[in-house]
Structure 1
Amino acid sequence: MPQFKQFPLPDTAEGLTEAEILTWHVKPGDAVKVNQIICEIETAKAAVELPCPWDGVVTEVLAEVGQTVEVGAPIITIDLDPSGAATAPAPAPAAAPATNGKIGEEMPGGRIATLVGYGPKSGAAKRRTRKAAPVAPAAAVQTPPPVVAPPAPAAPAPTPAPAVVEPAAVEPAATSRGGYVPLAKPPVRKLAKDLGVDLHAVPGSGPGGVITREDVERAVAPAPAAAPAAAVATGSRERRVPIKGVRKATAQAMVDSAFTAPHVTEFLTVDVTPMMELRARLKSHPRFRDVKLTPLAFAAKAVLLAARRTPDVNATWDEAAQEIVYKDYVHLGIAAATPRGLVVPKVRDADGMSLKELAVALDELATTARDGKTSPADMMGGTFTITNVGVFGVDTGTPIINPGEVAILALGAIRDMPWVVDGQVVPRKVCQLALSFDHRVVDGQQGSQFLADVGALLADPAVAMTY
């Protein structure tokens, strides 16, 4: 006998409440095995592949591609005993009263008792039918009522149920914008959102007036030269993109941080010529020959060394316990711009790494982030963050502290600039640093000392010998 189970969207990382379905790797009728990847989702932290928890056959996919689903909501139904699908028992009579059962116990009609009620009825699984566009009740139509004799008060006429009208019979022109729902599949709706097309203004060429992908693409295609006014009337110069995934999480985190932690930002301009000269020498050294040695690696190493002298920048403010938590380790976060938005993956225990190990870890971290393969666990638990705005040619900025941390360093672009050396103006490699810190934890003296130490290490790497 068929045994249907619904797989709810799991919490792939602490604190997540929803995720977007990116792709499905299975469809109804496919046989699946335990740990087989069935779909890919995008959470607020990363793209994650979901494995199947059971062996069986897919009977129904409950979430469309592009749909945002709350954690705990079912996304797929699997028949754990497909061999009995053809001989499913008849459903219980409609008059049979509902009875309670123990969790996991099979009830009349083949339903299984669960924590929140009962599982689906036995029988061939069917996809949920699409609802036809709603039709306004007759009483809502603004037309003069016919002159007829009123019904007798003792026998009022029952209110008729709304008639089900085929989609083709719905005339958009005769229906209000608020009640008319354009007929289009989810992928077509997503395309329309991405292109900024209002589906209410797109005539459907598919069966029953369904709007197709070609209809949406035609809506944004340039109008013929002979009729420029038509393009203005039907087109749109705005795009609306739903706030979700990484963008939604980043926005909320930045608001929480900016309006919770009292930010202070200090700036320092540094002559990093000695650092760049050391980098050039190390790139030809056998140990670093196959290593991508970037200025970011030197800045990261300087931060790790300076944090030993000022441990306050590597702490956490615990509001609930009214405590400052000092960390004896550094999980270094590196802000990375990816096609999915800004993410901050971590280099775990970075304080114990050599310059070479740090350079390799940073290169791997950046590659994984750009490919969208950073796991949610690798973006949690950071203690200090570096944002490298210099790669965009920006001198510096006022970075916002990541929630849960108390300091962040912005590394600006390295430029050839005039600099005074021994009383002479000479061209040097110059970089600007910006340090934002939480003034509840880090005082001005401590923040200034930390930033000065980082600058000194970049201006003269030999200073590291004294730390």
Structure 2
Amino acid sequence: MAQDFHLPDLGEGLPEAELVQWQVAVGDTVALNQTIAEVETAKAVVELPSPYAGTVTALHAEAGDVIAVGSVLISFDTGGTAPTPSPAASVEASAPDTAASAPAPPATASEPNLVGYGAAPRGTGRPQRRARVAASPAPAADTAVLEAAPHDAIQFADVVERPLERPRSTPPVRKFAKQLGVDLALVEASGASGVITRADVEAYAERVGAVAAPVVDSESREPVERFELPAPDSAGERTTRTPIRGVRRMTAEAMVRSAFTAPHVTTFLTVDVTATSELIASLRADRQLQDHRIGVMAVAAKAVCLALARHPGLNSKWDEDAGEIVEHHYVNLGIAAATGRGLVVPNIRDAQELNLVELADAIRGLAETARAGKTAPADMMGGTFSITNVGVFGVDAGTPIINPGEAGILAIGAVRRQPWEHRGEIALRDVMTLALSFDHRLVDGEQGSRFLVDVADILREPGRAMLLR
């Protein structure tokens, strides 16, 4: 029985997603829940599991295509009987009020819904073409290999015949290959593991002279710009153009919206955190805690949770549509993470319920997941307050921009060993600067200052946390 799988709403209410890479090819036999593709939304890269067990009969998009939610993505032959949808098919998105509030596209009774249809498809439902590398077919090219390749096939004059298998590589290498305009299906892995490395891609690009040819937009028929990584010997190249999309576009739009909607105020406070440094050193020396990597970020997160309980104005949001101030009685603590795809801010749910060790583990887990590009869309929604650690870059302070929908964000700077007044004398102490930006519609200067002082007091004397409730 023939079955079409439509791109579902990925739990964000976004109307489209970009196909990053196919994990299957036409003719492959696919099992239930096997990953069939990676797609990128404005917030994250998501792996799509197969809702059917069967044989792939058609791929309706190529790497780089922008696909509307509800469009046919892939077709299967499931055999002579009606398929049994994957158990995961009935799981709906965990993001609140996202999929439920958006109109759902029509679906057949037998078609599973992986994470809930939400945003209505736009246009004709056909994938939109993003700028992709294309070149004239070369007579020497093995067209069978090119047509069977599970990625965006590129034909060059020098093509190495390869078996029909999915190239093995890591996400950074796939991104690098895409930037160079190299199809990984045509690249030979040099190592015994069979995993294609960055060096393999560079060697192939140098050998075949991978250069992006002019591409014409399928709708406007106008030439489009494509990001090209300049070759080391490219003389005269003075600029590089990168398409604004994915996380970078989403971050830019959110920051502009925040900066021009919420009246930002930033206040600074430099604090002696020697006692916190000593506490961290003692915890790291504890054999029972050596696997938890407790650092200043975890202590700051705990301090923020305790201070928010005393200053709920910093844990609220401005609801313009309802004409209300919404005060949260929980803390979904956003942790800003710099990744290769841009800045993302996943949050720790109910952070106020976690102790110091649990916060350290949660922060570490969020950071590792974000850098791997695997942060779930739902994990970046519903935050109530955020922390950003600019100190890891050696920066003392800055003026962080509030995450939209939140009342404040705290930036913690680098810990410096420097002369400082201590008990009436000058001594070398660990010193750090805190920078708090807050929405002046929700928080006035007094509230913001008192909150910052409470956080600083805990970092100055961690034992003071025993006095707060």
The Cα of 1:373 is off from its aligned counterpart by 1.9
CA distance in 2, matches of 1:289, 1:212: 46
The answer (yes or no) to whether the contact 2:181–2:211 under 8 Å persists in 1 is no
Q: 3-state SS of the aligned residue for 1:276?
A: helix
Q: Tell me what 1:451 maps to.
A: 452
The whole-number CA distance in structure 2 between the counterparts of 1:404 and 1:103 is 33
The one-letter code of the counterpart of 1:27 is A
Specify whether residues 191 and 456 from structure 1 end up closer, same or farther in structure 2 by C-alpha distance, changes over 3 A only.
closer
Supply the distance in 1 between the matched residues of 2:354 and 2:68 (Cα, whole angstroms).
39
Measured in 2, the distance between the counterparts of 1:256 and 1:392 equals 26
Task: Choose 3-12 or 312-321, whichever is displaced more.
Answer: 3-12
2:386 aligned with 1:385: yes
Partners of 1:13 and 1:104 in 2: CA distance: 20
Amino acid in the other structure paired with 2:179: D
Q: Once the 2 structures are TM-superposed, how far is the Cα of residue 70 of structure 1 from its aligned partner?
A: 2.5
Corresponding position of 1:88: none
Q: 2:212 aligned with 1:214, yes or no?
A: no
- Partner Cα distance (1:307, 1:358) in 2: 16
Shift of 1:442: 0.9
1:408 is matched with which residue? 409
Residue 181 of structure 2 contacts residue 210 of structure 2 at CA under 8 Å; is this kept in 1?
A: no
The 1-side partners of 2:212 and 2:447 are apart by 61
Asked whether the equivalents of residues 401 and 407 of structure 1 are also in contact (C-alpha less than 8 Å), the reply is: yes
1:313 equivalent to 2:314? Answer yes
Residues 196 and 270 (structure 1), Cα distance of their counterparts in 2 relative to 1, 3 Å cut: farther
Question: 1:47 is matched with which residue: 25, 35, 45?
Answer: 45
In the alignment, which residue of structure 2 is the partner of 1:298? 299
Aligned residue type for 1:11? D
Q: What corresponds to 1:201 in structure 2?
A: none
Aligned to 1:354: 355
Inter-CA distance 375–282: structure 2 relative to 1 (3 Å threshold): same
Q: Is the 8 A contact 1:329 1:349 kept in 2?
A: yes
The Cα of 1:195 is off from its aligned counterpart by: 5.2
Once residues 322 and 258 of structure 1 are traced to their aligned partners in structure 2, the CA distance between those partners, rounded to angstroms, is: 20
Cα offset for 1:323?
0.7
For 2:212 and 2:348, the matched residues in 1 are separated by: 47
Give the Å deviation of 1:459: 0.7
Shift of 1:215: 3.5
Partner residue in 2 for 1:18: 16
Deviations 1:37-80 (A, max 9, x none): 21111222222111122333222111111222222222212234
User: 2: CA distance between counterparts of 1:15 and 1:53?
Assistant: 21
Q: CA, structure 1 residues 188+433, in 2 after alignment: closer, same or farther (shift >3 Å)? A: farther
Summarize the Cα distance change of 1:296–1:236 in structure 2 as closer, same or farther, 3 Å threshold: same
- What does residue range 331-346 of structure 1 map to in structure 2 within 5 Å? 331-346=332-347
> What does the per-residue CA deviation read over 1:201-237, in whole Å, with 9 as the maximum and x for residues that have no partner?
xxxxxxxxxx9992435995566xxxxxxx64xx633
Contact (CA 8 Å) 1:5, 1:78: kept in 2 or not? yes
**CA-CA distance at 1:104 after TM superposition:** 6.4
> Counterparts of 1:218 and 1:30 in 2: how far apart (Å)?
30
Say if 1:251 and 1:221 are closer, same or farther in 2 by CA, change over 3 A. closer
Q: Which residue of 1 aligns with 2:365?
A: 364
Structure 2 CA distance for partners of 1:218 and 1:32, relative to 1, 3 Å: closer
How far apart in 1 are the matches of 2:38 and 2:429?
Answer: 49
* Conserved? CA contact 2:30–2:55, under 8 Å: yes
1:23 and 1:68 mapped to 2: Cα distance? 12
2:179 to 194, 219, 222: 194
1:56 corresponds in structure 2 to: 54
Residues in 1 aligned to 2:240 and 2:153: alpha-carbon distance in whole angstroms:
17
Give the corresponding residue for 2:187: none
1:165-176 paired onto structure 2 within 5 Å: none
TM-score by length of 1: 0.69
Name the aligned partner's letter for residue 341 of structure 2.
R
- Secondary structure in structure 2 of the residue aligned to 1:259: helix
Q: How big is the shift at 1:5?
A: 3.5
Conserved 8 A contact 1:330-1:383: yes
- Aligned-partner Cα distance in 2 for 1:331–1:383: 5
1:452 counterpart letter in structure 2: V
1:7-406 → structure 2 map (5 Å cutoff): 7-81=5-79, 186=152, 194=179, 214-216=208-210, 221=231, 232=235, 236-406=237-407
Q: State the AA in 2 paired with 1:59.
A: T
C-alpha contact 1:20 1:68 (8 A) present in aligned 2: yes
What is the DSSP-based 3-state SS (H/G/I as helix, E as strand, rest coil) of the residue aligned with 1:265?
Answer: strand
Contact 1:20 1:66 in 2 (8 A): yes
Answer yes or no: is the 8 Å Cα contact 2:15–2:68 preserved in 1: yes
The secondary structure found in structure 2 opposite 1:427 is: strand
1:396 Cα deviation after fit:
1.0
- Distance in 2 (CA, whole Å) between partners of 1:167 and 1:187 is 11
Structure 1 CA distance for aligned equivalents of residues 71 and 251 of structure 2: 24
Which protein has the larger Cα radius of gyration, Structure 1 or Structure 2?
1
Instruction: Say if 1:416 and 1:341 are closer, same or farther in 2 by CA, change over 3 A.
Output: same
Contact 1:188 1:213 in 2 (8 A): no
| Equivalent residue letter for 2:372 | D
SS at match of 1:16: coil
- Cα deviation, residue 465, structure 1: 1.9
Contact 2:270-2:431 at 8 Å conserved across structures: yes
By how many angstroms is 1:274 displaced? 1.1
- Structure 1 position 454, deviation (Å): 0.4
Residue aligned with 1:451, SS: helix
The one-letter amino acid of 2:364's match is D
Moved more, 19-28 or 387-396: 19-28
Q: Are 1:433 and 2:434 matched, yes or no? A: yes
Question: 1:25: Cα distance to partner?
Answer: 1.5
CA distance in structure 2 between the aligned counterparts of 1:104 and 1:466, rounded to whole angstroms:
59
Give the root-mean-square deviation of aligned CA atoms: 3.1
Q: Could you say if the C-alpha distance between residues 186 and 451 of structure 1 is closer, same or farther in structure 2, counting changes exceeding 3 Å?
A: same
The whole-number CA distance in structure 2 between the counterparts of 1:347 and 1:29 is 42
Deviation at 1:290, TM superposition (A): 2.6
- For structure 2, list consecutive stretches of 5 or more residues without a partner in the other structure: 82-105, 110-119, 122-133, 139-150, 156-174, 183-204, 214-229
